[in-house]
Structure formats: C-alpha cells, structure tokens
C-alpha cells in the first residue's frame, strides 16, 4: 500500500472515517473475497472455520449498527466489538476485546492520532495477555505489534494521519507475511506443526486487512482493498 500525504483530513478521526472504514472492511470481506481466502488459509492451518466466523461477526456488527445508530467514534467501535464478542471460536472474543480497547481511546467524540496509537497499543497488549502470544508465534500478534509500533512512532513525530495509517498498514502486512515460514506456537495451527509451514496465519492476515481498510478509508478510498497478497 502506498503512503499518502493528505491535507484535508484533520489530526482527529471523525466518526465518518470509522463508518467508511467499516464499509471498506465489509466490502473486502464479502465482495473482495477476503472471507473465502481467510477460510482457505484456516483450512490449511487450522479447523477451517475462520472465514465463516468472520462473516458471522460482521453480520452481527451490521445488526448492532442498525440497532444502535452510532454517532461517535466510541459508539461505532463499540458496535464492532459487540459483534465480535458474540461470535464463536477463539478469535471472536480476542477481536471483540481488541476493538473494545480501541473504542475506549478517544477522550472526546473523536480520537487524535496519538489517542488512536495509544488505543491500538492497549488493544495489542490485551490480545497478547489473553492469547499468550508473542511475535514469532504465528498469530495475529505478528502483524499487530509492528503496526502498533509504526503508528506510535508516527504519532510521536506528529505525522500526517493518513501517512501514519498507511505506514502502519505496511508494517502489518510485512509482519503477516513473515508468518508463512513460521511453525506456529499458539493457536489452532500449533496443533498441526510443520503442516502449517508455508501458510500465512489467517489471524495476521485478517488484522492486516482491517488496518489496510482503515488506511484506505482515511485516504478516501471506498472500495475493497487488494487481497492478492494473501494467496
């Protein structure tokens, strides 16, 4: 994903950005074929239900949005969190807590880049605490940690927020790609050992696609993001 410098977007992220991000995520999951690709990765390295669970989660997210009509950043991300918390499997609760922590980052109606970076860092810490995973264990953490580090560095440098998100997305993708050659030490893939070597971790791919969607939405892109790299 190319870094983009924008002058129209302020240093705070308005609720409309979250709405656009979710539209992009939903489009990528369904129309962009991400759910199918993630399900195939999970079939090769786990029990094959990840794509189905992700689709179910976003169905619940849509229901939450319809029921609550969110108007603030916190309300939007809380709807996402509830959608995932109501989903089965191991990843549903982890994603739910992840989005819950990000939802809490804003002190006002919208977060600043620094607040968003702090929220992402807190969310990653929660995932690591409950999932017991570190970088190199072939999990979503392999993508999340470099993304959080990149966003924190950009926030500290008072960077343009669109550029910051693009760099975080690039870092996430680079981290996700490293999982192809790792033997898993956590998650379902750890049960199959060498069989999962050569397969990207679906959780790492999923969070990368979500961060890419966030960056794309901030850049004004309203269609599915490219998923070709996931194959």
Beta bridge mates, 112: 12
Mean pLDDT, rounded, for 5-25? 66
Give the three-class secondary structure for 12: strand
Answer whether 102's CB lies under 8 Å from 120's CB: yes
Q: What is the tens place of the pLDDT at every residue in 149-169? A: 999 999 999 999 999 999 999
Give the three-class secondary structure for 159: coil
**CA–CA separation, 161 and 66 (whole Å):** 29
* pLDDT, mean over the chain: 83
Give the three-class secondary structure for 226: coil
Answer whether 219's CB lies under 8 Å from 4's CB: yes
E strand or H helix at 47: none
Which region among 29-38, 79-88, 122-131, 196-205 has the lowest average model confidence (pLDDT)? 29-38
pLDDT at 12: 66
pTM over 0.75: yes
Please report the sign of the dihedral spanned by the C-alpha atoms of residue 41, residue 42, residue 43, residue 45: positive
pLDDT at 40: 78
**CA–CA separation, 183 and 45 (whole Å):** 10
Answer whether 79's CB lies under 8 Å from 102's CB: no
DSSP 84-140: HHTS-TTHHHHHHHHHHHHHTT-SSSS-BHHHHHHHHHHHHHHHHHHH---TTSSST
* Per-residue tokens: 10: 């302020």
Nearest to 165 by CA among 118, 119, 214, 205: 214
**CA–CA separation, 52 and 89 (whole Å):** 10
Answer whether 203's CB lies under 8 Å from 140's CB: yes
């Amino acid at each position: 994903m190319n870094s983009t410098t924008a002058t129209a977007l302020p240093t705070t992220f308005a609720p409309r950005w979250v709405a656009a991000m979710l539209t992009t995520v939903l489009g990528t999951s369904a129309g962009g074929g991400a759910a199918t690709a993630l399900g195939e990765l999970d079939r090769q390295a786990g029990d094959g239900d990840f794509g189905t669970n992700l689709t179910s989660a976003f169905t619940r997210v849509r229901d939450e949005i319809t029921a609550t009509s969110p108007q603030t950043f916190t309300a939007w991300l809380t709807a996402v969190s509830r959608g995932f918390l109501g989903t089965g499997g191991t990843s549903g609760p982890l994603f739910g807590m992840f989005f819950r922590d990000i939802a809490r980052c804003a002190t006002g109606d919208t977060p600043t880049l620094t607040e968003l970076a702090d929220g992402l860092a807190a969310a990653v810490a929660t995932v690591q605490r409950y999932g017991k995973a570190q970088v190199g264990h072939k999990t979503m953490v392999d993508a999340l940690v470099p993304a959080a580090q990149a966003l924190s560095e950009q926030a500290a440098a008072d960077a343009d927020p669109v550029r910051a998100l693009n760099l975080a997305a690039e870092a996430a993708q680079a981290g996700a790609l490293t999982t192809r050659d790792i033997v898993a030490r956590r998650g379902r893939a750890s049960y199959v050992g060498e069989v999962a070597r050569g397969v990207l971790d679906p959780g790492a791919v999923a969070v990368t696609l979500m961060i890419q969607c966030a960056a794309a939405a901030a850049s004004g892109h309203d269609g599915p993001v490219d998923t070709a790299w996931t194959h």
